[in-house]
Amino acid sequence: MQGTGVYVFGLTMAIAGPLCAAPSFLPANDCALCHSRPGVLTRFTSHFNAWKSSMMSAAARDPYWRARVSAEVAAAPDPAARARIEDKCLRCHAAADQYGYRGENKLMRVADLTGLGREGVTCTVCHRIEADGLGKLESFTGGFQIAASPVLFGPHEKPFTMPMQHHTGMEPVASRHILEPSFCATCHNLFVAGPEGRSDFPEQATHLEWLASSYPERGVNCITCHVPPIRDAGGSVASDYIAQRPPGGAFPPTNPRSPVGLHSFTGGNVQMLETLAGLEPDRGFRERAEATRRFLGGAAKLEVSAASSQDEVRLNIRVHNLTGHKLPSGLPVRRMWLHVIARDAGGRVVFESGGWNPDTGELRHERSFQPHYQSVTSADQAMIYETVLENAGGDISNLFTQAVRYRKDNRLLPAGFGKAANSLPPPLTLAVIAPVGTTGDPDFQAGGDSVEYRFPAGGRRGRLQIAVEVCFQSIGPRDSQGLTQHRAPVVIARTEVVHGR
C-alpha cells in the first residue's frame, strides 16, 4: 500500500475556512467551557473529555485513515476520481470543513483541511444534524443535513438556553432524533465511490446489519452500547447535571438529568488508539484503549467440547456473537479468528491453528486467502471471520474504491439476522449485507458459528490441555504497512478444556 506514513496534526482552534459559510460549526473548546467538568453528583467523565479521547475526535487525524485515503487516491484512474474519493471520505471524517463545500457544489480535498476539520467528528457536527431524511438511503454515506438556523439538538426537554446562547450564539433545542439509530446510520452505512463514480458497494453497513437483526425489537441500539448512560457506584442508571458554570457548580435554574450518555463512543479500535496515545499523549487515548479492550471482552462467547478416538482428537467450537451487528463490523480491514492450541502433559505443542507472530501480527501460516471452513484439519488452516474484497477483474483487492463485490464475508451474524429484512430502507434488500462464502455450512447461522477441529492423537495417552481464543485485529497486517507498533491481536474470549486423563 502506498502513502502509509504517519501524519500528525496539531489541534488548532479555528472556525472553518472561507468556503464554509452558514451553517457554521464551532471548535470543541467552545463546548468544553461548560461541558468539561466531572459531574456534580456522580463525578462521571465529562462530555468533552470523553469525546476528546475517542476515535470520533481523531477521525481526521487518524494516521491509518490518512494512509488509506492516500492509497485509494493513488490508485484512482484520473484527477476527477481522486477528488471524488477525498471528498466522500471527508463527508464524515471532517464534516465541519466539508459541509460548506456541498453548498458551493465543490469537492473538498484533504489538503483543504483546517484546524476545525482536524477535530474530526466534533460536537457541533452531530448536534446540528436535522431529523429530516434520517433513515432513508440518501441520508447514508454522510448524507445528513445540518440545520440552517443556529441550533444545537439534544435529547433533554426544556433546556436552559441562556448560557449556550450567550457563549456560542446557538440555541439548545430538545429533539429525540439525536438518539435514533438512523442518526448514527448517516456515517455508519457507507457506500463507496468506486470505478466511474459508482456508489453501490457497501464498504460498511453496521446500521443495516443491526436493522436486520432481532436487536431493534429488543430495544437495544447504537446508543445502548456506544453512548451508555452514566451509572452510580452501585451500577444503577444515575442522574446528573449535563453542564456546569465555567467557574464550577451547576447553573442555578437547572436540575439533574437522566439518563446522561457517556460520550466515549467506545468501539473496537484498540490498535489505533494505542498509536494515537504515542502521538498525542495528553488526550487520554491510552486510557481509552484499555477501556476498549475491556469493551471487546463482551463481544463474543465460546463453548467448547472435546472427544477422541485412538487416532484423532475432535473439538467442537461454538463462537457466539454478542453484539447487535456483524462481528467484526465496520471498516473491511477488521478480522477475527480462532486460535486453538493443544499441549500434552509435558507442555509440548501437539497442534496449533491461528497462532501469530507477535512482531508483525501475521498468522504463522498466513495465506493470501483463507476460505470459510466448516472443519479445520491442519495447522495451516485458520478459521478467520473477515471480509475479502474483489475488483471488477475478479482479483482480490486491497482497495475499497476498486471493490465491486465480496469474495468472502463470513463475519459472525447478529442474533435474529434476516428476520427483519423488510425493515431495510428501499430499494435495499438483505442481499446487500448477506454473508458470502458460507453456503453449505449449516452451522453458520444468525448469532454465531460452530467449527470442528480435528487433529491426530498420535496414539498418545494422558491429558491434553487445549486452549481456545477468539482473537481480534482492528487493522489486519496487510492493511497496516507503515504502522510498526501495536499489531498484536486482542484476545476477546478464551476458554480451556482438559481432555483425556
Residue 496: per-residue pLDDT: 75
Q: How confident is the model at residue 419 (pLDDT cuts 50, 70, 90)?
A: confident
pLDDT in tens, 306-323: 998 878 999 999 999 999
Q: What is the pTM of this model?
A: 0.91
Range 296-308 average pLDDT: 94
Q: How confident is the model at residue 124 (pLDDT cuts 50, 70, 90)?
A: very high
Q: How confident is the model at residue 460 (pLDDT cuts 50, 70, 90)?
A: low
Residue 281: per-residue pLDDT: 95
Q: Which residues contact 281 (CB under 8 A, 6 or more apart)?
A: none
The β-bridge partners of 172 are: 152
3-state secondary structure of 246: coil
Range 258-284 average pLDDT: 95
Q: Residue 235 is placed in which grid cell?
A: 451500577
Contact 289, 260 (CB under 8 A): no
Q: How confident is the model at residue 21 (pLDDT cuts 50, 70, 90)?
A: very low
Residue 412: per-residue pLDDT: 98
Calculate the average pLDDT of the chain: 89
Range 137-147 average pLDDT: 96
Sign for the pseudo-dihedral over CA of 19, 21, 24, 30? positive
For 172, phi then psi, to 5°, come to -75, 135
**Rounded to an integer, what distance in angstroms lies between the CA atom of residue 170 and that of residue 294?**
37
3-state secondary structure of 120: coil
Residue 195: per-residue pLDDT: 54
Q: How confident is the model at residue 39 (pLDDT cuts 50, 70, 90)?
A: confident
**Rounded to an integer, what distance in angstroms lies between the CA atom of residue 318 and that of residue 281?**
40
Residue 2: per-residue pLDDT: 30
Q: Residue 144 is placed in which grid cell?
A: 445528513
| Count of Cβ atoms closer than 10 Å to residue 218 Cβ | 12
- Where are the domains positioned within the chain? 28-199+228-261, 297-499
Question: At which residue does the C-alpha cell 471524488 appear?
Answer: 84
Question: At which residue does the C-alpha cell 471498516 appear?
Answer: 331
**Rounded to an integer, what distance in angstroms lies between the CA atom of residue 470 and that of residue 410?**
15
CA 248 and chain centroid, separation:
35
Residue 23 reports pLDDT greater than 60: no
Helix (H) or strand (E) run with residue 92 in it: helix 79-93
| Count of Cβ atoms closer than 10 Å to residue 219 Cβ | 7
Sign for the pseudo-dihedral over CA of 47, 53, 56, 60? positive
DSSP readout, 398-447? S-GGGEEEEEEE-PBPPTTTTTTGGGSPTT--GGGT--BS-TT-TT-BTT
pLDDT in tens, 328-381: 999 999 999 999 999 988 899 999 999 998 888 889 877 778 999 999 999 999
Q: Please, what is the end-to-end C-alpha distance for the chain in angstroms?
A: 50
User: 500 or 104, which is more confident?
Assistant: 104
